[in-house]
Amino acid sequence: MAGLTEAQVQDRIREEAKKALASGEVSAVVGWTSTRFEDKTKPYFAETEAECDLLVWNKYCINGTGKFALDDRYPEKKIAIIARGCDSRALNRMLRDKQLKRENLYIIGVVCDGKENAVCEGCQHKNPLTYDVLIGEPVEEQMNAERFKEIEAFEKLTPDQRYEYWAKQYDKCIHCYACRNACPACNCVECYADQYRTGWQGKAADREQNQVYGLTRAFHVGDRCIECGECERVCPMNLPIMRQTKKMLKDINDLFGDYECGLPDDAMPVLGTYKLEDPDEFM
Amino acid sequence: MSIKKDDNWEPKILAFCCNWCTYTGADLAGLNRMKYPENVRTIRVPCSSRVNPQFILRAFQKGADGVLVCGCHPGDCHYATGNYFTRRRFMLMQRLLEYNGIDPKRFQAKWISGSEAAKFRDTVTEVSAQIKALGPNTKFVAPHYDNALQAKEGGAE
């Protein structure tokens, strides 16, 4: 952390949270609090000044806070969100998808130096991108040259090996939809998988339905994925979900130029727009 | 319908055809008495961008050996821009399916206009030959639709 120690950042977070609540415009501050395990934290909604002192900041603050903004889409007061780089991108994602209104959010940005989470190793945005108040000095961003290394290695397997690998992975899926619930790109008001009478998604947790769910989800969020890794973190069966969405991102980068989601610019997701000069393979 | 493992095996190909171009092209092929392989099942859709990627997954699960999505040439879309979205969508879908182990020949997209009856015939013939060379699809097939499995277990007897 540039300039500030962990404890100092924590103090600043509590200070800003109290200030936000005291202003009367904010109903709750979303952050993390300690649990009875030293190496675990949990998401926490501080609604009073006393509760603000329970907010913590350490290397175990791994839960994404951005998605909680969707719990109340039409709040009476603002919701304050303590946002790291990934959380601010999650909020950008939902703002871009018109799921939230910026005026309903008060974003307390915190410069993050990576948590005890595997996905943080390849992080390209340690500084929050959108915020109302920033805690900590912005650090220099590192581009991750190995962003798609894992995908390239997987592509070298034979088609049969690849199919077997995914079939075995999807055999494990139990349809808990935790990946969907944690994903900031999964922000449809009603998920297609919940519309059980339409027949889009069967309820059986067998390979057939899991493949449909996995691939549909990968395709649906693939062009809007912010690579926060929440889907893989919450998966109780340890499915490598990011391998599918990252493949989509890799192809998008190859075909349509450099692309990253969750940036503050107003770019449309790749599949929601087109260019006349796109490559054409279907002639 | 079970398919036995013999030389008479014919692939099942599902073709999603755009109402305004390819379906008309296929109609013209029929009017002109052109001959093309009968293992293509045509489904008329209002636009090639009507085809949801999930249709393709379900088609493979329910026993299709190949899927073809056909639409108007870029710039010719009846709805002005539909096929530009199709183009992006299925370029990515083809790669995602390949990544998941499906041969890219099994899922193809083509632009065929209403006057290109010959191109429709040629495309269908070519795709049919390619898929025949690949053999029955064994990936993504749901057990109760699995033709190859039925051929092995029940059909062979």
Residue A15 has pLDDT above 50, yes or no: yes
Write out pLDDT tens, residues A121-171. 889 999 999 999 999 999 988 888 889 999 999 999 999 999 999 999 999
What domains, with CATH codes, occur in chain B? 13-152 (3.40.50)
Residues whose CB is less than 8 angstroms from the CB of residue A273 and which lie 6 or more positions away in sequence, other chains included: none
- Flag whether A54 is in a domain: yes
Asked whether residue B149 carries a pLDDT value surpassing 60, the answer given is no
Under 8 Å between Cβ of A85 and A94: no
* A261 — pLDDT class (breaks 50, 70, 90): confident
Q: Report yes or no on A279 lying in a domain.
A: no
**Chain B CB contacts of A270 below 8 Å:** 88
Task: Kindly state whether residue A229 falls inside one of the protein's structural domains.
Answer: yes
A264 and A183 co-located in one domain: yes
Q: Using pLDDT thresholds of 50, 70 and 90, give the confidence band for residue B157.
A: very low
A282 part of a folded domain = no
Instruction: Pick the closest to residue B26 from B95, B123, B133 (CA basis).
Output: B123
Q: Is there a domain that residue A90 lies in? A: yes
- Taking residues B138-148, what's their average pLDDT? 74
CA A207 vs CA A160, A167, B57: distances in Å = 16, 7, 13
Cβ atoms of A97 and A224 within 8 Å: the answer is: yes
What pLDDT does A2 receive?
52
Are residues A200 and A253 located together in one domain of the fold? yes
Same domain, yes or no, for A230 and A173? yes
Regarding whether A154 and A268 lie in a shared domain, the answer is: yes
Buried b (16+ CB within 10 A) or exposed e, A44-62: bbbeeeebbeebbbbebbb
Domain count, chain A: 2
Least confident of A137-141, A190-194, A235-239, B140-144: B140-144
Q: Has residue B3 got a pLDDT over 60?
A: no
Q: Flag if A276 and B103 touch (Cβ within 8 Å).
A: no
**Strand pairing class (A105-110; A133-135):** parallel
**How high is the pLDDT of residue B156?**
43
In a shared domain, residues A47 and A100: yes
Q: Do residues B151 and B9 lie in contact, with contact meaning Cβ atoms separated by under 8 Å?
A: no
Q: Do B102 and A211 touch (CB under 8 A)?
A: no
What is the complex's ipTM, to 2 decimals? 0.90
Task: State how beta strands B40-45 and A78-83 pair.
Answer: unpaired
Smallest CA–CA distance from B56 into chain A, residue: A212
Residues A41, A63: Cα–Cα separation, whole Å: 8
pLDDT at B147 over 70: no
- The tens digit of pLDDT for each residue in B101-117 reads 999 999 999 999 999 99
Nearest residue, CB atoms, B95 vs list A164, A251, A280: A251
Q: How confident is the model at residue A1 (pLDDT cuts 50, 70, 90)?
A: very low
Domain ranges, residue A49: 11-135
- Shared domain for A33 and A131, answered yes or no, is yes
Instruction: Find the CB nearest B96 among A161, A215, A276.
Output: A215
On the question of pLDDT at B1 being above 90, the answer is no
Report, as an integer, the average pLDDT of B80-102. Answer: 94
Average pLDDT of the residues of chain A: 92
How much is the pTM? 0.90
Residue at A29 is within a domain? yes
Query: What span, in angstroms and rounded, lies between the C-alpha atoms of A66 and A31?
Result: 10
Is B100 touching A (CB cutoff 8 A)? yes
Looking at residues A260-282, what average pLDDT do you find?
A: 88
Kindly state the percentage of chain B with pLDDT values over 90: 80
Q: B81 has which bridge partners?
A: none
Judge if A125 and A75 occupy the same domain. yes
Instruction: Please report whether residue A143 resides in a domain.
Output: no
Beta-bridged to residue B68, according to DSSP, are B15, B108
A2 assigned to some structural domain? no
Residue ending a domain, among A77, A112, A135, is A135
Measured from the Cβ of residue A140, the count of other Cβ atoms closer than 10 Å reads 7
What distance in Å separates residue A192's CA from the closest CA in chain B? 11
Same domain? For A155 and A125 the reply is no
Tell me, yes or no, whether A261 and A180 share the same domain. yes
Q: Which amino acid is residue A43, in one-letter code?
A: P
Task: Give the pLDDT band of residue B59 (cuts 50, 70, 90).
Answer: very high
Among A113, A135, A157, residue at a domain's last position: A135
Which of A159, A216, A244 lies at the smallest CB-CB distance from B54?
A216
**Between the CA of residue B4 and those of A36, B8, B9, B152, what are the distances in Å?**
62, 8, 7, 8
Judge if A39 and A80 occupy the same domain: yes
